[in-house]
Structure 1
Amino acid sequence: MQQSAVPELAHTRTRPIHWVATATALAGVVALSSVVRPEPATAVQPAPGSHGKPAAAAPSTTGVDFPLDCGPVKAVIVKKATGDLDGDDRPETVAVVHCDAPMGTPPDGVYVLTRGADGRTARVVATLVRPGERLTVTAFRIRERAVSATLLGYSSDAVPSCCPDTRTPATWRWNGNAFVRSTPAGAHSV
């Protein structure tokens, strides 16, 4: 048998100290990576059609006085979405709001918000669904400058509030003067 030209190396056999050293080094890397972080990104992508201008911030729903009579309970924003609905390169916010009722299913209101004259506060400029219509809004979104939702409602006043029995898809688009609602033909379902 021929002997190796290289003497047996001590580090070719793993020992517990090797595992401890590896685990310590790995823990040090993980700990250091949680402390040393890159600066947050600050680049702003221009909105489509903005010709390189940074997009304006969408109006906030904070502090908005929605035209909703909730009595002693407060209004709750259930859903919201933002998008440029009128093509002016400034986004609007659309909010689905209802009263925070202690029981039952309170009807939703859908409101369009834009920035006020001061550029900071938001104001309601349109009501797409009035709470008096007794509708619940689902599948809510903004896409391609249109607001779309599915409206759950009631075929008559005899239907209990817990159990809406109609389902209607609806879309609202800005026509230059107002939001116009469209419903696909034959869309009502019971």
Structure 2
Amino acid sequence: MQQSAAPELAHTRTRPIHWVATATALAGVVALSSVVRPEPATAVQPAPGSHGKPAAAAPSTTGVDFPLDCGPVKAVVVKKATGDLDGDGRPETVAVVHCDAPMGTPPDGVYVLTRGAGSGTARVVATLVRPEERLTVTGFGIHAGTVSATLLGYSSDTVPSCCPDTRTPATWRWNGNVMVRSTPAGAHSV
């Protein structure tokens, strides 16, 4: 017995009307997608180790009494960064501060601020760089609980304040009791 070939099915041949219908449907989907938009995402991922608790706000530098003697001018926060330095789940703020001197390059101080568990007021808990060291801070930031900066300084007292001639990378990390500074060996450059 011989089988006959199946007749060609009409719906397997494309005709211009098929293309017009497909193009119209696609244009409708594109037009509708530009009008109908999803609501913006509002979920926030909890910080690691926070167990779903809302993240604490970093301490503000506003109103903080920095241990800096500026005489008749005020202290100015020129850089700041935030991060959890001691691993307690609450962020600290590290601020680079100097006197708002009308001329010259005033030296920077670098201070760690925290806020008490029940207090809204920020306070200085550590000094990383004292203004008496005559250093200017650049390349400043916090990454993975480590404060890093490049310290510009002077090789001697005869070097003019306008022109620091040493560059030293430095990092500070919490050791459980205090912030400990480390400087790579041979890092001083002139």
Is the pair's TM-score, using the shorter chain for normalization, greater than 0.5?
yes
Larger radius of gyration: 2
The two structures have a TM-score, normalised by structure 2, of 0.78
CA spacing shift, 1:16–1:80, aligned 2, 3 Å: farther
SS of residue paired to 1:125: strand
CA spacing shift, 1:47–1:13, aligned 2, 3 Å: same
Following superposition, the deviation at residue 116 of structure 1 comes to 3.2
* CA deviation map 1:105-127 (0-9, x unaligned): 00000000000354211000000
Following superposition, the deviation at residue 184 of structure 1 comes to 0.5
Following superposition, the deviation at residue 14 of structure 1 comes to 33
CA distance in 1: counterparts of 2:116 and 2:22, whole angstroms = 60
The two structures have a TM-score, normalised by structure 1, of 0.78
Mind listing any 5+ residue stretches in structure 1 that lack a counterpart?
none
List 4+ stretches of structure 1 deviating above 6 A. Answer: 1-41
CA distance in 2: counterparts of 1:28 and 1:60, whole angstroms = 51
Mind listing any 5+ residue stretches in structure 2 that lack a counterpart?
none
CA contact (8 A) 1:45 1:54 kept: no
Following superposition, the deviation at residue 30 of structure 1 comes to 19
CA contact (8 A) 1:168 1:188 kept: yes
Following superposition, the deviation at residue 45 of structure 1 comes to 2.6
CA distance in 2: counterparts of 1:169 and 1:18, whole angstroms = 69
CA contact (8 A) 1:44 1:54 kept: no
CA spacing shift, 1:146–1:6, aligned 2, 3 Å: same
CA spacing shift, 1:178–1:35, aligned 2, 3 Å: farther
CA spacing shift, 1:36–1:189, aligned 2, 3 Å: same
* CA deviation map 1:48-105 (0-9, x unaligned): 2222222111000010000000000000000000000000000000000000000000
CA spacing shift, 1:45–1:4, aligned 2, 3 Å: same
CA distance in 1: counterparts of 2:99 and 2:18, whole angstroms = 63
Aligned residue pairs, count: 190
CA distance in 1: counterparts of 2:161 and 2:19, whole angstroms = 65
